[in-house]
Every structure is written in structure tokens, then in C-alpha cells.
Amino acid sequence: MGRFLIVAGRDLRLAQRHGFDSLLVVAFFIIAVVLFPFGVGPEPNILARIAAGIIWVAALLAAMGLEDTSRIVVEGLETRKAFHRFAIEESGTLDPAEVEAEIVDAGRKLASGDDAVGALLLECSLLPPYAAAVQAAVHLPVFDYVTMINFVFSAMVRQPYKGII
């Protein structure tokens, strides 16, 4: 554990020299590793078997292209009334159609605002139920934490190939 802390401390000092861009990589890595057990479940035996793979995949994803933050386009949902009521205030009754319309509208805004946008990432854990509607509206790949978990799971628990070669 001592070696890990030395290396982690060194990497954090290097990240501090590079400013905010490097902190995004570290933040993504931490978020990905922390959120993964929520998707898989609390079973310690399963988590222990897949932990190393999760850490490697999270590190790989964190290191891929996040140093150029000019390529990241963000559209917040906190000003959308139905989403704000549902996710931030946690008040009233959820109107799924109204929330979906707001999320789809935000996706359209992102997709139409920049031709370089090639995919959307729904980073809030409340958004996966709306991913299919966003994808149908924008005709782009849509990723969320469920697709990340499915990707890692399929890489960790391979099934024998059954088909024509």
C-alpha cells in the first residue's frame, strides 16, 4: 500500500502542474470506480473478482482524450423545470414524459450545436431511462453508466462463441 500512495502522490503532483485538465482525468477515474459497484450490486465475491478489471478499464477510459477539454461540450439540465423538480428539489410528482422531453431537447441542442459532436454521454445516474429517446432523436451513440457497466461486464465475463465462423 505504501508504494501505491507514493505513486499516487507523485501522479497527483504532476496533475497539479498541468492544472484543471489533469484533474478531469482523476475525477473521471474516481467516479467510474466508485459508481461501478452500484450497477453490479453489493456482492463482495463478484466485486472482488472484477475489481482489477474495473480499475484498469476506468484508468484507460480516463486517459483517453480528456486532456483536451476544448472537445467536451456540456449541456446542463439544472435549469430545466421538470428535471430540476425531479432530480434536484426531489419534490412533486415525477412526470416521465415531461422530463424525457427536456432531456431530448438538451440532446438535440448538443447534437445540432456542433457538427463535431459524435456521441453523447448522460452522466447523471437518473438519465439511463431516457437514453433510448435521446438516441432516437439525435441519431448518435448515447452512453451512460449502464452502457459502461455492460461494456466492462461483457469484457470480464465472456461467453463461449456460438455461431458460424
d(CA 138, CA 29): 28
Average pLDDT over residues 139-154: 84
d(CA 12, CA 4): 12
Helix (H, G, I), strand (E, B) or coil at 142: strand
pLDDT at 70: 64
pTM of the model: 0.57
Average pLDDT over residues 34-45: 74
Q: Is 163 left (phi over 0), alpha (psi -120 to 50) or beta?
A: left
| Segment of 55-59, 71-75, 127-131, 149-153 carrying the highest mean pLDDT | 127-131
Q: Which region among 20-29, 44-53, 127-136, 147-156 has the lowest average model confidence (pLDDT)?
A: 20-29
Helices and strands in the chain, H and E counts: 7, 2
Average pLDDT over residues 105-134: 86
Count of structural domains, the chain: 2
**136 lies in the same domain as 86:** yes
**84 lies in the same domain as 49:** no
**CA distances from residue 155 to 64, 70, 137 in whole angstroms, order as listed:** 18, 30, 29
Whole-angstrom distance between the N-terminal and C-terminal Cα of the chain?
Answer: 46
> Nearest-CA neighbor of 74 among 110, 108, 105?
110
Q: Is the pLDDT of residue 12 over 70?
A: no
* pLDDT mean across residues, the chain: 78
Give the percent of the chain with pLDDT over 70: 78
Residue 149 lies in a domain: no
pLDDT at 156: 77
Average pLDDT over residues 19-30: 68
Which helix (DSSP H) or strand (DSSP E) does residue 121 occupy?
A: strand 120-122
Domain with 22 in it: 2-69
Residue 157 lies in a domain: no
Last residue within a domain, chosen from 45, 69, 93: 69
pLDDT tens digits, one per residue of 76-104: 888 888 988 888 888 878 889 999 999 99
**79 lies in the same domain as 136:** yes
